[in-house]
Structure 1
Amino acid sequence: MSEPVGGSGARGFVRGPQSFVAGLGLIALALFAIWAGDDLARGTLGAIGPGLMPFWLAIGVGLCGAALCVAGLLRAGAPLQGMPLRGPVVVLLAIVLFAVTIRPFAFGSVTTPGLGLAVAGPLAVLVAGYASPEARLSELLILGLLLTAGCMLLFGDLLNLPIPMLPTALIQALSGTIPSRTLLRIAAGILALFGLGLLLLNRRSAKREPIDVAQHSLTT
Structure 2
Amino acid sequence: MSMSQERVRERRGLVRSSQNLAAGLFLVFIAALALWLTGDLPQGRLGAMGPGMLPDWLAYAVGLCGLALAGSGLLKEGDSLEAWGLRGPFFVILAVVAFAVTIRPFSLGPLVIPGLGMIVAGPLAIVIGGYATSEAQFRPLLVLALGLTPFCMVLFGDLLNLPIPIFPQALADLLPATWSQKAILRLLAALMVLAAAAMHLSDRGRKSRKIDVVRQPEEI
TM-score > 0.5, shorter chain as reference: yes
| Equivalences for residues 9-88 of structure 1 within 5 A | 9-10=9-10, 11-88=12-89
Paired position in structure 1 for 2:197: 196
Paired position in structure 2 for 1:131: 132
User: Displacement, 1:211?
Assistant: 5.9
Hey, what's the Cα distance between the residues in 2 that align with 1:29 and 1:126? 18
Cα separation, partners in 2 of 1:110 and 1:24, compared to 1, 3 Å: closer
Output the amino acid matched with 2:9: G
| 1:53-104 deviations in Å (ceiling 9; x for gaps) | 1222122112211221232122212222232122222233333322332233
Kindly indicate whether the alpha-carbon contact (under 8 Å) linking 1:91 and 1:127 is maintained by their aligned counterparts in 2.
yes
> Which has a greater percent of helix?
2
TM-score by length of 1: 0.82
Percent pairwise identity: 48
Paired position in structure 2 for 1:150: 151
Hey, what's the Cα distance between the residues in 2 that align with 1:65 and 1:212? 52
RMSD: 2.5
SS in 1 for 2:155: helix
User: Is the deviation greater in 98-107 or in 57-66?
Assistant: 98-107
Hey, what's the Cα distance between the residues in 1 that align with 2:14 and 2:137? 43
Kindly indicate whether the alpha-carbon contact (under 8 Å) linking 1:7 and 1:79 is maintained by their aligned counterparts in 2.
no
Cα separation, partners in 2 of 1:177 and 1:109, compared to 1, 3 Å: farther
Kindly indicate whether the alpha-carbon contact (under 8 Å) linking 1:7 and 1:77 is maintained by their aligned counterparts in 2.
no
Kindly indicate whether the alpha-carbon contact (under 8 Å) linking 2:15 and 2:73 is maintained by their aligned counterparts in 1.
yes
SS in 2 for 1:176: coil
List runs of 5+ in structure 2 lacking aligned partners.
215-220
User: Displacement, 1:122?
Assistant: 1.2
User: Is the deviation greater in 50-59 or in 167-176?
Assistant: 167-176
Paired position in structure 2 for 1:217: none
Paired position in structure 1 for 2:217: none
Give the number of equivalent residue pairs.
209
